[in-house]
Amino acid sequence: MLLLLCLMVPLASGQGLRYLGEIRARQAGFSALYEHPDPSDPSERYSFALSTFSPVPLTQDDLLWFQYPGKYLDNIAGMDQRVLLSGLQWPREPGQVPLDVFGYEALAQPDGFLVPGKNVGGVGIVDLSDWESPVYTDITNRNRDDPYFYHRVQWKDADGDGDKDAFTCKAFVDGDFVDSAFMWYENPGGNDPGREPDWTPNIISSNDCDTMTATATLSAGGQDYNVIFTVGYFNDKFSVYWTTDPEDRWDDNSLIESRLIDANLPGDDHFFDVEIVDVNKDGRLDLLVTINSVTDGSLVVYEIPDDFRTGEYVQHVLADGYFSRSGLQGGGSPGQAMTFYPQTSENSGKPWILMSGDDEGTCYYFSPVSEDPSSWEYEEHLILDRGPSNIVGKPVVADFDGDGYSDVFVPLWSAGYVQGYTFAP
């Protein structure tokens, strides 16, 4: 018991990161940075959304909103926390919708997950043009067919009509049975497509991607391609998709190609998430990937070859040995990882990495040991350890108050808090 009480206090936060405090937030899951257009004050540049969820069937969940948290770094418990939406079904990662999609500020909120009674998901658009009364519209029509869940949306014009369509992956999982699709929903255009339900679905492929995606522009054979990397957590596949259409259209499947990058994970390991970033600062983009596992999860990099279509993706393990302590079936570690700079103006060197331990109940950051591009060595810093039976959600990092130092918020799902940290001295 004493040990547990000790663990309730954040452990030594590693050099440079300072604990600020915590605020109550029940079942805090995925947080998502939101950048306000044209802020008048540096502390009003960022807010963050936070999905919360209960796995209990037939309950309903909230999407929370933290308005200008940079104004509250000296009073984390007093942060401006609001319920943006209620009535969701196990919501996954919220995402800011680019302003040019609808012409107003909006979030995409995918929802639904494994448990019967909560597995009928969709993708909702949250119209934020009136902050006092957000309007939710399901563009996927969750009652159309089987109970699919959704995790993330990318915005890209698939059919060349000038409006951006919603690329996503959906999955239906029942025991060992998986049915999933990489697909896009066609933006219907017109006056206000963000208020139009039931966009037309277009399936690109089945049983490859089921959860996360990331986009990049890559050159190969003297040509630029806007590519989409896809994660198959349940399918155990990690792939890249591109179109050979000269106008970058994705509405003819015969012109879409894909390449399986890796499908050789051992045992109960699963691809979790990917960020596309030049990790080792050699001038070439890399894939920062977390591999979630019950027993030996890892943080890895795949170097993107000169030709992403044909070359070899060389893997480097940055850190490993993470394991689930939640006691939950299907639990694994680590969760998601993202790059950042502790001082936002000093961004010429290798980026640092923030990583959630997920079912390990931890959160970490990693600093590069060397600026040598051939070095993949990192020093691991433990930010917090809530002990066994704890799950930590997706953190968010940015300079929220505009003082030049990055600040970090970590959702503690089981404990029901969001903790704040800063790299400011």
Buried b (16+ CB within 10 A) or exposed e, 232-266: bbbbbbbbbbbbeeeebbbbeeeebebeebbeebe
Out of 127, 163, 251, 358, point to the residue binding Ca ion (CB under 5 A): 163
Task: Show the site string, 17-46: x = touches Ca ion by CB under 5 A, - = not.
Answer: ------------------------------
We find the least distance from the C-beta atom of residue 309 to Ca ion, in angstroms, to be: 18
Nearer to Ca ion, 63 or 101 (CB): 101
We find the least distance from the C-beta atom of residue 187 to Ca ion, in angstroms, to be: 5
Question: Helix or strand or coil: residue 197?
Answer: coil
Q: Count of residues binding Ca ion (CB under 5 A)?
A: 16
Alpha-carbon gap, residue 50 to 5, rounded angstroms? 27
Give the DSSP letter of residue 254.
G
Gap between the terminal Cα atoms of the chain: 33
157 part of the interface to Ca ion, by CB under 5 A: yes
We find the least distance from the C-beta atom of residue 280 to Ca ion, in angstroms, to be: 5
405 part of the interface to Ca ion, by CB under 5 A: yes
Question: Helix or strand or coil: residue 153?
Answer: strand
Question: Helix or strand or coil: residue 167?
Answer: strand
Out of 270, 407, 418, 420, point to the residue binding Ca ion (CB under 5 A): 407
We find the least distance from the C-beta atom of residue 193 to Ca ion, in angstroms, to be: 10
Give the DSSP letter of residue 293.
B
316 part of the interface to Ca ion, by CB under 5 A: no
Out of 145, 146, 161, 320, point to the residue binding Ca ion (CB under 5 A): 161
We find the least distance from the C-beta atom of residue 307 to Ca ion, in angstroms, to be: 15
> What DSSP letter does each residue of 186-253 carry, written as one string?
EP--SS-GGG---PEEEEEEESS--S-EEEEEEEETTEEEEEEEEEETTTTEEEEEEE--TT---S-G
Task: Show the site string, 267-296: x = touches Ca ion by CB under 5 A, - = not.
Answer: -----------x-x-x-x-x----------
Which positions touch Ca ion (CB under 5 A)?
157, 159, 161, 163, 165, 187, 278, 280, 282, 284, 286, 399, 401, 403, 405, 407
